[in-house]
């Protein structure tokens, strides 16, 4: 019998979410367990659990050390185009925003790649705006071929594709896919995605699964915390990853926990405040619930916050980031997607990790054969 769609399972659960039913005693009972289920994960995301951040942090730190050691993977994004056909009210690339649009030529991609490679990084994430016309699969594929000459691990964060298109990019060298649902609240999703292909909730939701069916080694998923109820979106993200891992046990399922950041045209977007303690609670709950999964922390967050989280939950952290088109030691061609908060270079962040007794990792995957 064919497996029931993951989206149907998740949305059925999402509709019944009620964090108000949990108490401090429930949190204590969960923290006394060796392994957690979905119901336990809900408890750790509840408001009463916010009073237990210290014991949650101790447990998360122990699990992170046990499964990942004192190692932090380093990566950086490369934005090659910011043309977009979507009208997302929270994003700087919104097609209605009057920003400087640009697209790197293949020669410019190579220049950027060479400059980034000087930092010794081996993990790079290729990003574009969501425009098939300006950033065709073929153009992205040519970019991937260039990046693969300089970097061992190449990820993509682009518009959702069909399975055969993911397979095509995988054959050219793509290792993993980052795709965020933004919010799992279907009503809110429709409200903030005003126009464009991204308005189709189900097509985006199923992109990680299509990527895995296309042969990609791993997927990174997440919600843009603040668009809707962050506790519900955090639960849905964890459940989504949990169900993907059960269906594709060989896949590397990772999580990202981005918060809304200021961007062009996004000043008046209604969103919920997600405080540092809230974001920390989400990461700690994720680590305790999914102890083997990677957790990414980007430069959306401040240096102070990222430094304070070191060792607790994140396993992969970006450095030397530019969210404009180009800009890695060369002229920036197009405007940024959002403002970053931690502007440290790769070398500066390496030195910080070393000073804290951590090993920075450029490459955690070897190709054999």
Q: Which residues contact 174 (CB under 8 A, 6 or more apart)?
A: 144, 154, 155, 156, 166, 216
Superfamily of domain 6-361: Aldolase class I (3.20.20.70)
The strand pair at 153-157 and 252-256 is best described as: unpaired
| Mean residue pLDDT across the chain | 92
- Whether 287 shows a pLDDT value over 90: the answer reads yes
Mean pLDDT of 335-363: 86
Q: Residue 369: is its pLDDT beyond 60?
A: no
Model confidence at 338: pLDDT above 90? no
Report the predicted TM-score, pTM, of the whole model to 2 decimal places.
Answer: 0.94
Of 183 and 342, the one with more pLDDT: 183
CA distance 32 to 25: 11
DSSP tag of 290 = S
pLDDT at 150 over 80: yes
Residue 280 pLDDT exceeds 90: yes
pLDDT band at 337 (very low <50, low <70, confident <90, very high): low
Question: What is the model's pLDDT at position 1?
Answer: 38
Torsion of CA 358, 363, 368, 369, to 10 degrees: -160
DSSP run (H or E) holding 237: helix 230-247
In angstroms, rounded to a whole number, what is the distance separating the alpha carbons of residues 10 and 247?
14
Mean pLDDT, range 295-323, rounded to an integer:
92
Q: Taking the domains of the chain in order of start, what are their residue ranges?
A: 6-361
pLDDT of residue 128: 96
Instruction: Write down the pLDDT at residue 27.
Output: 98
Residue with tokens 């065709």: 136
Q: Please tell me the predicted confidence (pLDDT) of residue 38.
A: 97
Q: What's the pLDDT at 271?
A: 79
Torsion of CA 59, 61, 62, 65, to 10 degrees: 160
User: Any idea which of 85-99, 204-218, 252-266 has the lowest mean pLDDT?
Assistant: 252-266
Mean pLDDT of 114-121: 95
pLDDT of residue 11 exceeding 50, the answer is yes
Indicate the pLDDT class of residue 262, thresholds 50, 70 and 90. low
Model confidence at 268, pLDDT cuts 50, 70, 90, reads very low
When pLDDT is averaged across residues 52-57 and rounded to a whole number, the result is: 98
Q: For strand 316-318 and strand 71-81, is the pairing parallel, antiparallel, or unpaired?
A: parallel
Residue 269 is predicted with a pLDDT of 54
Query: Between residues 100 and 245, which one has the greater pLDDT?
Result: 245
- Is the pLDDT at 335 greater than 60? The verdict is no
């Amino acid at each position: 019998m064919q497996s029931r769609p993951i989206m149907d399972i998740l949305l059925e659960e999402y509709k019944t979410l009620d964090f108000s039913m949990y108490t401090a005693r429930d949190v204590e009972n969960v923290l006394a367990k060796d392994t957690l289920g979905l119901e336990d994960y809900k408890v750790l995301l509840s408001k009463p659990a916010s009073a237990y951040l210290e014991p949650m942090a101790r447990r998360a730190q122990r699990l992170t050390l046990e499964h990942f050691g004192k190692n932090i993977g380093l990566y950086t994004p490369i934005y090659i185009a910011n043309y977009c056909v979507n009208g997302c009210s929270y994003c700087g690339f919104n097609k209605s925003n009057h920003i400087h649009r640009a697209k790197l030529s293949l020669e410019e991609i190579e220049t950027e790649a060479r400059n980034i490679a000087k930092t010794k990084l081996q993990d790079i994430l290729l990003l574009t705006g969501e425009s098939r016309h300006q950033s065709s699969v073929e153009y992205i594929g040519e970019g991937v071929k260039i990046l693969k000459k300089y970097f061992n691990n190449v990820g993509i964060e682009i518009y959702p594709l069909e399975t055969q298109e993911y397979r095509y990019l995988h054959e050219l060298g793509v290792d993993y896919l980052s795709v965020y649902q933004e919010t799992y609240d279907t009503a809110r999703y429709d409200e903030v995605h005003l126009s464009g292909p991204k308005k189709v909730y189900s097509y985006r939701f199923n992109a990680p699964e299509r990527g895995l069916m296309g042969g990609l080694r791993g997927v990174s998923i997440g919600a843009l915390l603040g668009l809707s109820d962050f506790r519900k979106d955090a639960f849905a993200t964890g459940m989504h990853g949990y169900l993907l891992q059960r269906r594709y046990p060989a896949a590397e399922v990772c999580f990202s926990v981005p918060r809304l950041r200021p961007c062009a045209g996004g000043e008046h977007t209604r969103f919920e405040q997600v405080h540092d303690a809230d974001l920390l609670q989400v990461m700690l709950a994720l680590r305790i619930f999914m102890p083997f999964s990677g957790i990414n922390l980007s430069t959306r967050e401040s240096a102070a916050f990222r430094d304070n989280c070191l060792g607790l939950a994140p396993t992969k952290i970006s450095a030397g980031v530019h969210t404009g088109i180009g800009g890695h030691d060369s002229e920036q061609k197009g405007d940024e997607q959002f403002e970053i908060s931690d502007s440290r270079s790769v070398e500066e962040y390496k030195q910080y990790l070393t000073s804290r007794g951590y090993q920075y990792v450029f490459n955690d995957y070897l190709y054999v054969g």
